[in-house]
Structure 1
Amino acid sequence: MRTARDLPSNGTTSADPADSTLRNRSSESTFSSAIFTWDEIRTHVLPEDKWLVIDGDVYDISKWSRRHPGGKAIISHYAGQDASDAFGAFHRDRQYVSKYLNMYRIGKVKGYDNHRSDLSRDFSDLRDLTKKMGLYEPNYWFYVFHLSHIIVLEIAAYMVVSLLGGTVLSWILAAVLIGTSQTQGSWLNHDFGHLSVFKSTKANLIAQKLVFTGIQGVSASWWKYRHYLHHSKPNVIDKDPDIKMEVFLLVGDTIPVEMAKSKKGFMPYQHQHQYFTVLSPLLLVVYYYYEVLRFVFKRREWLDLFLMMLYFVRYFYFFLPLTGLFGAYIILYLGRVIQSAWFVWVSQSNHIPMAVEHDEQDKHWVPLQMHATCNLESSPFIDWFTGHLNFQIEHHLFPTMPRHNLSKIKPQVESLCKKHNIPYINKPFWTAMFDILRSLRKSGNLWYDMSHTNDLLVQ
């Protein structure tokens, strides 16, 4: 069987349309007859030699991964694997993207269609159904309302301080309003970041820059980098950055054992379910600002840095005359703590209590997402409070779907899961909150027991 090194190189560092056309023709004529086995494909997982499969076609992404708009890491997560469903989930216009992807096509998988599972076919049908139902069409009035109430909440914070004067009560009320505005802004940023508001990708990304970076003072590019990796391989060790929290917390059953054996980490993890409630919101504000700034300077995201600076200039311009420097800082920090606590409890309720595992090459998109996510029961308030992330299962299966449509596909997803014996978990809100603490306690005790056992063996 021929390998990529036996074939003429079809990689390029140019996105010129003429070059693309030439490469497409070359792919069709030269590589269309090349057939590869899965055993061979799975060997191409090195940084300088990466293949992946989409709909039965094999692509050499060794050069393309460095130019991939979503970043090198996210596409590399599927090296040696079938990326069909992930590709479909992240790319709304498959025909447009395929036009460029074809220049990296080197052949096909032997017997691909014959080995597709019933689950794969059923999920493909379900994705087609979402399009027929028009579930990717946004309700613009929905987003106008959310952006408007974010702005109104921030204006209200200024008015409270202006009317009540520089009192501690006014600072607390202003911080609550700022924190609420910032959290709701996080949900709106999430919509733009997933390209679910506008049909134009560019329009979504511009809006995300303005909302997340300009209105919240955080890098949109940093968010995209982390969040796309999370969606690509949720709760997968060494691939999902959201579970790499060893500085503060250990999650799941595997990480605590591995950490204990390696004797890494310095926190008293057996108490993490206790200090999570108090310390996490306070520390995350500092930690994430450090990580954001580190990312911005390392990646030279100067536009993000400029917009972040404008946010703080605007904030202190309005608050300093009313509260002084100390009061302005207290309102800002308390608002961030409220936002951090709110965001962390909501986002982690869907993931921390779920399975945390090492990557499995043959795991289909649906069980990969389902084992790492759960839903919270719905109500108008809970939908608003969680930014519709209470429909986390549907969001992870169809990440570009506008959030106000997620509930409409829920019955079909439940039916698919029931047919294929995949647990579909839907929890009451407070059960999900307490499950975070129960899960952290279990993981912390696993670490402690393993550490204690290791110490006894050494003695």
Structure 2
Amino acid sequence: MGAGDQQTEPAGSALFTWEEVQKHCSRNDQWLVINRKVYCVTEWAKRHPGGFRVIRHYAGEDATVAVIQDFRALHAYAEQKGLFRAHSLFFLAHLAHILLMELLAWLLIRLGGTGWIPTALCSILMATAQIQAGWLQHDFGHLSVFKKSSWNHLTQQFLIGHLKGGSANWWNHRHFQHHAKPNVFSKDPDVNMLKIFVVGATQPVEYGTKKIKLLPYNHQHHYFFLVGPPLLIPIYFQLQIMRVMISRCDWVDMVWCFSYYLRYFSCYVPLYGLLGSVALIMFVRFLESHWFVWVTQMNHLPMDIDHEKHQDWLSLQLQATCNIETSPFNDWFSGHLNFQIEHHLFPTMPRHNYHRVAPLVRALCEKHKISYQVKTMGEGLVDVFSSLKTSGSLWLDAYLHK
């Protein structure tokens, strides 16, 4: 949680019951338990670098990070072996290959014309550069590549703003909540399906029992292909990013975002015209969205999704995540997020070290008989579809018979 005079032990009695602690879970009254000590973090939460919502999700709970002694030892061993040290050349090489793809995409149109074949190849290169830039900014959002955090945040703003047209603060706000409470309704924004889908085993039954039928959820595994991958980035995320930046007066992120569109239209309007350039960027977003949705959802959507159960941190992370088997292609394609278990257990570890800690994590899980799921890429993609189908069937059964 960090030190500072903003966190204090509650005044009064030195001992508190869990019932008393759990009452302090509102926005203006927040207590946490860390290593069996009770802290009042109401004021400190407003200054928490991950955002006040991350702390609020644990208000009235035990927020101790390590709950198994072996995990503490593993974390210490990883630190001792330098697995939390980032290699700047690794990230510079990734940035170079992103910029190279951007340049090749533009040269392809500039020298090869605007026919459908050059345009298709250009779109694929641009979408690949976009998604790889997304993985890279994800790295800088989690860890410190540079010694000064200000440089680290500036690099993240450049990557998501100038190379993608997004907002670093918007991403941090969403993503830190996801890591704090993965797959927990009302606390993880990534499982907020806007009532378009029902997910997990609990929500479908609740919707069915209440006779909620905003969409035919028993067919959601079919309309997912029309709504989810095609529209998440080009429509939903883009509108949400703009709304958040404007409503929060996030002028720095807006400048970075504007610089992306200024660069893009300056390069492509002379080649495609205004309408053609808009059509091109929408198609690129369409391709990027498919890539992003499938890669991110195969690690989480088929896993346990439920309301708050007040589990310990370690159990929650392992139940909400699974891995996709490693290979040079899978590692590059997913930005090493195929090591999703390791990423959630060690979010500040640079991804080039996930493969080194993964066997140790797996051994720890086997020792304590904790599930450690590893799938092939094909299995992971199919499980996204099958999990939606299963949830839809649960909804239909509850809707018709309860």
**TM, length-normalised to structure 1:** 0.83
SS, match of residue 51 in structure 1 = strand
2:70 corresponds to which residue?
122
Aligned partner letter, 2:123: A
CA deviation digits over 1:174-198, x for unaligned, max 9?
1111100000001001100002423
The alpha-carbon deviation at position 31 of structure 1 amounts to 5.9
Q: What is the aligned residue count? A: 399
2:360 to 403, 407, 412: 412
> What's the counterpart of residue 67 of structure 1?
47
The equivalent residue for 1:132 is 80
- The residue type paired with residue 270 of structure 2 is P
Equivalence for 2:244: 295
Partner of 1:356: 305
Q: 1:75 and 1:264 mapped to 2: Cα distance?
A: 32
Structure 1 residue 39 displacement after superposition = 3.1
The alpha carbon displacement at 1:390 in A equals 0.5
1:362-404 Cα distance to aligned partner (Å, 9 max, x none): x222210010000000001110000000000000000000001
| Separation in 2, partners of 1:430, 1:185 | 24
Aligned to 1:425: 373
Could you tell me how far apart the structure 2 residues matched to 1:432 and 1:323 are? 38
Deviation at 1:122, TM superposition (A): 1.6
Say which SS state the counterpart of residue 342 (structure 2) adopts.
helix
How many Å separate the matches in 1 of 2:274 and 2:318? Answer: 47
Partner residue in 2 for 1:111: none
SS in 2 for 1:357: coil
Whether the 8 Å CA contact 1:184–1:387 is kept in 2: the answer is yes
**Counterpart for residue 63 of structure 2:** 83
Counterpart contact for 2:210–2:399, Cα < 8 Å: no
Q: Aligned residue for 2:188?
A: 240
1:179, 1:339 within 8 Å by CA — same for their partners in 2? yes
Aligned to 1:48: 28
1:66 partner amino acid: K
Match of 1:8 in 2: none
> Given the alignment of the two structures, is residue 270 of structure 1 paired with residue 213 of structure 2, yes or no?
no
RMSD between aligned residues: 2.0
Structure 1 residue 165: Cα displacement: 1.3
- Please give the per-residue CA displacement for 1:250-271, whole angstroms capped at 9, x wherever unaligned: 2111111222334445222211
1:177-226 deviations in Å (ceiling 9; x for gaps)? 11000000010011000024234322221110010011110111110000
Structure 1 residue 450: deviation in Å?
1.7
Residue 33 of structure 1, CA deviation: 8.1
Rounded Cα–Cα distance in structure 1 between residues aligned with 2:90 and 2:42: 42
Q: How far has the Cα of 1:151 moved from its partner?
A: 0.5
Aligned twin of 1:100: none
Alignment of 1:249-398 (within 5 A): 249-264=197-212, 266-284=214-232, 285-361=234-310, 363-398=311-346
Q: Which moved more, 1:293-302 or 1:196-205?
A: 196-205
Could you say which structure has the greater relative contact order, defined with CA pairs below 8 angstroms and 6 or more residues apart?
A: 2
Find out whether 1:221 has 2:176 as its counterpart.
no
Q: Which residue of 2 aligns with 1:447?
A: 395
Q: Say which SS state the counterpart of residue 36 (structure 1) adopts.
A: coil
Partner in structure 1 of residue 150 of structure 2: 202
Matched residues in 2 for 1:263 and 1:303: separation?
A: 45
1:196 and 1:404, CA in 2 relative to 1: closer, same or farther beyond 3 A? Answer: farther
Question: Do the aligned partners of 1:135 and 1:402 also contact (CA within 8 Å) in 2?
Answer: yes
CA contact (8 A) 2:295 2:334 kept: yes
Distance 1:81 1:36 in 2: 12
Per the alignment, in what secondary structure is the counterpart of residue 163 of structure 2?
Answer: helix
Counterparts in 2 of 1:123 and 1:138: CA distance versus 1, 3 Å:
same
* 3-state DSSP of counterpart to 1:390: coil
Q: Specify the SS of the correspondent of 1:203.
A: helix
Shift of 1:291: 1.1
| Partner SS state of residue 38, structure 2 | strand
Contact 1:193–1:208 (CA under 8 A) maintained in structure 2: yes
Q: 8 Å contact 1:261–1:450 — kept in the other structure?
A: yes
1:436 aligns with 2:377: no
Q: Does 1:187 align with 2:132?
A: no
Shift of 1:414: 0.9
Q: Deviations over 1:278-334 (max 9, x none)?
A: 332322121111111111122221111121111111100000101112221222111
- Alignment check: 8 A CA contact 1:41 1:51 kept: yes
Deviation at 1:169, TM superposition (A): 1.9
Using the alignment, how far apart are the partners of 1:214 and 1:126 within structure 2? 38
Determine the C-alpha separation between the residues in 2 that align with 1:201 and 1:59.
27
Alignment correspondent of 1:151: 99
- Structure 1, unmatched stretches of 5+, are 1-16, 89-118, 455-459
Of residues 75-84 and 48-57 in structure 1, the stretch that sits farther from structure 2 once superposed is 48-57
Question: 2-side partners of 1:32 and 1:210: how far apart?
Answer: 48
Against the structure 1 CA distance between its residues 134 and 304, is the aligned structure 2 distance closer, same or farther, given a 3 Å change threshold? same
CA distance in 2 between partners of 1:265 and 1:141 (Å): 52
Change (3 A) 1:263 1:292: farther
Query: What secondary structure sits across from 2:39 in the alignment?
Result: strand
Q: Percent of aligned pairs with the same residue?
A: 43
Q: Does the CA-based 8 Å contact 2:162-2:259 persist in structure 1?
A: yes
Match of 2:308, SS state, is coil
